[in-house]
Amino acid sequence: MMTKKLNIFADFTDPDLERDFGRWSLPGNRPAVYLGVALLSLLWLCFIPTDYRMHGTSSTFYLLLMLRTWQIALGIAVAVVIRRNDNRKIYNYLICIFWLSTLSAILIVNTTRPTEYSIHFVVDIMALLFSYMLIPNRLIYQLVPAVIFTVLSVNYFLFYKHIQGPNEMQLAMTAYIMVNVIGIVTSWRSNAERRKRYLILTELQHTNQHLEKALAEIKTLQGIVPICAKCKRIRDDKGYWNQLEEFMSTKLDAEFTHSLCPDCMRELYPEVADKVLERQQNRIQPK
């Protein structure tokens, strides 16, 4: 079964199979990386006016501008490296580092907002969902940045933000927990389905290879086969004459044994032919 071949992180338990899957899936992951980098870069740019309205031309605004510029540059660099590199491990590490940097930058931006500013909570939830679903990666590499960000955000929300009451606190805790649960389940199912699809395609490829090989062997028996009119030997492609059974053994996955047909039996051994043929007939008749 498929589930027996996966561990708790939806990876193949066979390291060689997991490595082959990584090489197979990398070309399909690149478009998601480009889309994710472009979308996050656009979001970083969209919040620059908010920074300006809150901080004007102060040093905090320029610090945030540098932070957003760094994130956009990092995303472009990651996309370029992944485009030119076919190493699955490098892909895993780069995407993990990219999300660690992205979520850390979001947390830094949150610290520059007023204590009553609550929009960052929605941004946190979106960022966590994006970290699980936007760019494909192994679940373990998605968990690390998401868990670190969740722990730090929860602590910042509890100890530094202005909380109206226990209901707001309960809502925030429930939201952080649920978004991680949803992200983990969705990522696990996505990784498992992709690996299942890889196994199906691999088995289909092997089946096609076997069929092509069998078809090639069948085609070797087609066409004109030179056979001696007297001794019935067959000439092969190299010009050698072979016994019929030897020639057929090289073309078919079968072995030949010798016997006598009824006509030849009566011609060569007329005195015992009838008894032998009768015994053979009784042996093959169903009881």
Across 176-270, the runs of DSSP E, i.e. the strands, are 234-235, 241-242
Supply the mean pLDDT for the chain: 85
Type of residue numbered 243: Q
pLDDT at 165: 66
Residues paired with residue 242 on neighbouring β-strands, in sequence order: 234
Is the pLDDT assigned to residue 265 strictly greater than 90? Answer: no
Label each residue of 67-123 as H, E or C: HHHHHHHHHHHHHHHHHHCCCHHHHHHHHHHHHHHHHHHHHHHHHCCCCCCCHHHHH
Q: Identify the pLDDT of residue 3.
A: 44
Is 121 in contact with 172 (CB distance < 8 Å)? yes
How would residue 30 be classed by pLDDT, with cut points 50, 70 and 90? very high
State the amino acid at position 64 in one-letter form: L
pLDDT in tens, 75-85: 999 999 999 99
Contacts of 150 (CB under 8 A, 6+ apart): 128, 176, 180
**Token duo for residue 78:** 């990651």
CA distance from start to end of the chain: 43
| pLDDT score of 221 | 54
Give tens-digit pLDDT for 230-254: 777 887 777 778 887 777 767 666 6
pLDDT, tens only, 143-181: 999 999 999 988 887 777 655 567 777 888 888 999 999
pLDDT digits (tens, 9 = 90+) for 101-124: 999 999 999 888 887 776 778 888
**What pLDDT was estimated at residue 212?**
84
Short-list 238, 147, 217, CA closest to 187: 147
